Amino acid sequence: MSRYIVGVVIAFGLNAFMASTVLAVQERNNATTPVKLEQQQALARASAEGEYWFERMNVALNTLNYRASFIAMQPNGLQAYRWLHSVTAANNNIEVIEGLNGPPNQAIRINNQVTYLSSVNDPYSVLSTTLSSPILSGLYGKFSDIREAYNVVAVGGDRVVDRDAQHVRVIPHTRDRYLYSLWIDRENGLLLGVNTYLPSGDIVEQVLLTSIHVQESPLEELEQLELQWDNVPSIQPLRPPANNMSKWQFGWLPAGFKLERQQRVRVAMNGPIADHFMFSDGMAKFSVYISESSEQVAPLQYENLKSMVSVSYNNYAVTTVGKIPLAIAQQVAAAVRLTP
């Protein structure tokens, strides 16, 4: 287990999220002070327990019938959502997340097709097993999907929404991605809350359930949605252009990130068409947009819940955006080249 992980866990025990401070002290001391055997054993037990709860959450999110509401506290304000999930009698896995603030919008997943509906944009569909929402897509997968980049550690009990909860932290092996705290319902395994932190320990997003109801039978509204969906023309999912990946060279990607999706999109209304590549390490995701245009893109750098970097070259522009530290977004954007 890396010194970084040990440092983060120790920092948690000190009632502060000071991973960078602990790591800096270790590096200055050249890690000459060994962690005691009992501490290593305790950390191993906490990791095993963390994996157990992560796997239990994965099963609950994908198999239970539940209706919930949650709020997401982000840098741009407070957003409220409704969250529904069921596995129907026809064995369709249906999930809906609906924004409750601002213009109406819905994300609907039926098995591996996700459709986004909005009052201000045209509807579109993509092939995916998870929705794009404040609920991290990596939480729906198995721990083995993120093991290459993260460790999970159980750090004790808590109470969330008047529910008995298990607190689990998801800690990256290296300091090139975000950290997460999860609160998992001890009775049914469902997610009750999640915090997202920068490597510095600064919190950038909090998601908290405000209500939750679990039932044995599928939700009636989702069974009705299933019937309606069978009677309407399907929206053609966006598919990647043939052989477009070979057009661009990604000279550097952070370890563990793999290409999850590629497509051609219009970046903004009346804007240029861009090649869009989405990469994921199982927990975090970031996108790279590459447009060939004579118009120069203004250089941009931004870091908060999402980092964004835009750079222009002679005949193309690259924008990297996602839940990754700014330094990583900069390296990715700087390494994109047009294949000769």
pLDDT tens-place string over residues 258-294: 898 888 776 655 566 788 899 999 898 999 999 887 5
The pLDDT value recorded for residue 296 is 61
Lookup: tokens for 6: 């040990």
SS3 of residue 55 by DSSP: helix
Q: Is the pLDDT at 103 greater than 80, yes or no? A: yes
The pLDDT value recorded for residue 99 is 95
The pLDDT value recorded for residue 300 is 81
Distant-in-sequence, close-in-space partners of 106: CB < 8 Å, separation ≥ 6: 96, 97, 98, 99, 116, 117, 118
SS3 of residue 38 by DSSP: helix
The pLDDT value recorded for residue 74 is 85
Could you give the percent of the chain with pLDDT greater than 70?
A: 81
Q: Is the pLDDT at 1 greater than 70, yes or no? A: no
Phi/psi for 244 (5° steps) reads -75, -25
Q: Residue 332 — left, alpha, or beta (φ > 0 → left; ψ -120 to 50 → alpha)? A: alpha
Q: Which residue has the tokens 């919930």?
A: 68
Q: Is the pLDDT at 340 greater than 50, yes or no? A: yes
Q: Quick one: DSSP state of residue 136?
A: -
Q: How confident is the model at residue 20 (pLDDT cuts 50, 70, 90)?
A: very low
Calpha distance 140→107 (Å, rounded):
16
Q: Is the pLDDT at 339 greater than 60, yes or no? A: yes
The pLDDT value recorded for residue 244 is 55
For 212-237, what is each residue's pLDDT tens digit? 999 999 999 999 999 987 655 455 54
| pTM of the model as a whole | 0.81
Q: Is the pLDDT at 21 greater than 50, yes or no? A: no
Lowest mean pLDDT among 21-30, 64-73, 193-202: 21-30
Q: Is the pLDDT at 122 greater than 60, yes or no? A: yes
Q: How confident is the model at residue 304 (pLDDT cuts 50, 70, 90)?
A: confident
Q: Which residue has the tokens 């539940």?
A: 66
The pLDDT value recorded for residue 154 is 96
Q: Is the pLDDT at 28 greater than 50, yes or no? A: no
Chain-wide mean pLDDT for the chain? 83
The pLDDT value recorded for residue 234 is 54
Q: In the chain, what are the domains? A: 43-237 (2.50.20.10), 245-338 (3.30.200.100)
Q: Is the pLDDT at 101 greater than 70, yes or no? A: yes
For 132-189, what is each residue's pLDDT tens digit? 899 999 999 999 999 989 999 999 999 998 999 999 999 999 888 999 999 999 999 9
Lowest mean pLDDT among 38-42, 104-108, 221-225: 38-42
